Amino acid sequence: MDPIRVGIIGFGRSGCGIHANAIAHIPEQFTVTAICDLLPERRSHEKFPLAKACASAEEVISDPGVELVVVASYNCTHAVLAEKALLAGKHVLCEKPFGYTTADVDAMIAASKKAGRILQPFQQRRFEEDFQKVREICRSGILGDLTYIRISWPGFARRWDWQTSRRYGGGQLYNNGPHLIDHAMELFENREPERVTARFRNALSSGDAEDEFDVLLQAAGAPDVEIMISATCAFPQDRWLVCGKAGTLRGSGQKLEWKYVDWSRHEKRPLDLHPLEGRRYCSEKLDWQTGVWEAAQNTDAGAGAAPAPKPVLKLYDSLYRAVRLGEPQLITPEQVRKRIAVMEQCYRQNDIPFPRESRS
């Protein structure tokens, strides 16, 4: 096989800990040939001893030996560097956030089309087992018409790095929010929300960006979808809660359970305005059907944890197939643009300025 030659811009927790470490497991598909980081001591990886150490992003982008640029630098540089790499003739895998505004994303997509190169958002959590199972159950119809969905990533922790600074594009909505927004929009069946309501809080972090948020998506005929990340919840909570007119699903990344009824097997209950016999409340015995799912391997713990490797490898496999085999992308920039539109609404609604590098 002909591995895709990769240059990584930003070699920290993501560039090294996620991307390079994943690529080291699939040498037949990808290899790292250039590494860029602000710190000289971080411009190497033991699995790729021949990788060129680069002092600037431009050095990676202009390297004729690089086919694919992974943008894993500060959030505030993602859209600008991705656009430059595309116009230089490179395929691009861009970490989240995939731009700050839809204008950012539109410029990236335009550059991708102009150069005839693939632009891949890094939304690997779309491949997580628990999310895929939740989506399967929702689409099966056994829970009935869905009324309410809550996706929660609770935790209790302080943070004091650049991800807490608005100057660098920090904040939980930009950091972990893109994954939850992506899951929410998938369960929203990719409809455009008619109402987006967002609340931000800075509870424990040392910077000025939010470390907690609540976002509510609403539209006529769709379930209300609530997304929450907390820095001040010290007790475990379910990651998933899905309510429907026939049943409910709940659970974590490790285990899901659901119960539902088949209303056609129950007595019809027309409105009765007469007093009930014996002053009793409405009550009936429901014939519950149940189901349980458990993950085949350990999953990550959500916000603040390193992502599980399997979804990362699945995204890289899909990217290889798109670049080398011409297969359609499974997660497209146009899909993720809809997620950015929601995030953009959240920040505008709260009068939070975008970093100066954005096209706001």
pLDDT digits (tens, 9 = 90+) for 68-124: 999 999 998 999 999 999 999 999 999 999 999 999 999 999 999 999 999 999 999
- Evaluate whether 4-124+308-330 and 129-294 have a shared fold: no
Name the percent of the chain lying above pLDDT 70.
96
Region for residue 55 given its phi and psi (left: phi exceeds 0; alpha: psi -120 to 50; beta: otherwise):
alpha
Q: What is the pTM of this model?
A: 0.92
The Cα–Cα gap between 282 and 280 comes to 7
Question: Per CATH, which fold does 129-294 belong to?
Answer: Dihydrodipicolinate Reductase; domain 2 (3.30.360)
pLDDT in tens, 172-188: 999 999 999 999 999 98
Question: Per CATH, which fold does 4-124+308-330 belong to?
Answer: Rossmann fold (3.40.50)
DSSP SS3 for 30:
strand
Give which of 229, 181, 204, 211 is closest to 342, Cα–Cα: 181
pLDDT in tens, 295-340: 987 766 555 566 788 999 999 999 999 999 999 999 999 999 999 9
The Cα–Cα gap between 150 and 144 comes to 16
Q: Which two tokens stand for residue 195?
A: 């109402």
Indicate whether 280 pLDDT > 90.
Answer: no
Query: Would you list the domain boundaries of the chain?
Result: 4-124+308-330, 129-294
